[in-house]
Amino acid sequence: MVTRIRPVRTSLTLAVATVALALPAGGAHAEDLAPPHQALLLLRILAYDRALGARAGDRVTVAVVYRDADKRARTLADEMATSLSSIAQKATVAKLPVRVALIPHDAGTFEQKLGELRPAAVYVAGGLEGALEAITRATRRFRALSFASDARVVERGVSVGLLAHDARARLVINLASARAEGADLDAALLRLAEVNR
């Protein structure tokens, strides 16, 4: 059975509440939001993008970008890709199947790889702070909504932060970046998030 992930306010609220219940008590930090929870929220958020159909084509491709030399980032990327793939086996986003691709960041070939893949979303796994300008330039060029688990990179141009704070899931949206990447996020989502305009 395939479940459709649709933009229903209670659905996202329930997803955020479910993630909040699964977080460790006693002051979780951004890095404590586990990849399975991030994956669920990422796909739920994509369902709230009214421009997704135009950006995605016949399937929703999510690229997970990581720095190959960074072992921690590679582990996070692997866990995120596995979590997204697991959900994709049982769910669609806006009636579209989900495909997941891992992309090691290489300054010389990253933009070309992204152009060939044409993802609807890009998850930045970490260790790429020095490459954020190039990554966000590429996500804007190819109209891919960018995600990360670090609020600092959202301030620097990534569109959506999937965070944890005080044992609750927290969404941070850089609205200018999201619009530059071609997303049209529903007001119901924006009401649930901390929005940086």
For residue 23, the model assigns a pLDDT of 39
pLDDT digits (tens, 9 = 90+) for 115-136: 999 999 999 998 899 999 999 9
Among the CATH numbers 3.40.50.2300, 3.50.50.60, 1.10.3080.10, 1.20.5.510, which is that of 3-196? 3.40.50.2300
Q: Is the pLDDT of residue 30 over 90?
A: no
- Name the pLDDT band for 21 (thresholds 50, 70, 90): very low
What SS3 class is residue 197? coil
- Give the integer Cα–Cα distance in Å for 132 and 158: 8
- Which whole-number Å values give the CA distances from 88 to 62, 92, 153, 173, in the listed order? 10, 6, 26, 24
- Give the integer Cα–Cα distance in Å for 74 and 51: 30
Task: Compute the average pLDDT of residues 63-70.
Answer: 92
Contacts of 6 (CB under 8 A, 6+ apart): 47, 94
User: Taking the CB of residue 3, how many other CB atoms lie within 10 A of it?
Assistant: 9
pLDDT digits (tens, 9 = 90+) for 132-179: 999 999 999 999 999 999 999 999 999 999 998 777 789 999 999 999
For residue 102, the model assigns a pLDDT of 96
Cα angle 51, 56, 62 (rounded to 5 degrees) comes to 115
pTM above 0.75, yes or no: yes
Beginning with the edge strand found earlier in the chain, give each strand of the sheet holding 60-66 in spatial order.
98-104, 60-66, 121-124, 145-148, 160-165, 168-174, 194-196
- Name the pLDDT band for 31 (thresholds 50, 70, 90): very low
Q: Judging by beta carbons within 10 Å of its beta carbon (0-12, 13-18, 19+), is residue 63 exposed, middle or buried? A: buried
Task: Compute the average pLDDT of residues 14-32.
Answer: 43
DSSP 25: S
Task: Compute the average pLDDT of residues 30-36.
Answer: 74
What rounded mean pLDDT belongs to the chain?
Answer: 86
pLDDT digits (tens, 9 = 90+) for 97-108: 999 999 999 988
For residue 5, the model assigns a pLDDT of 57
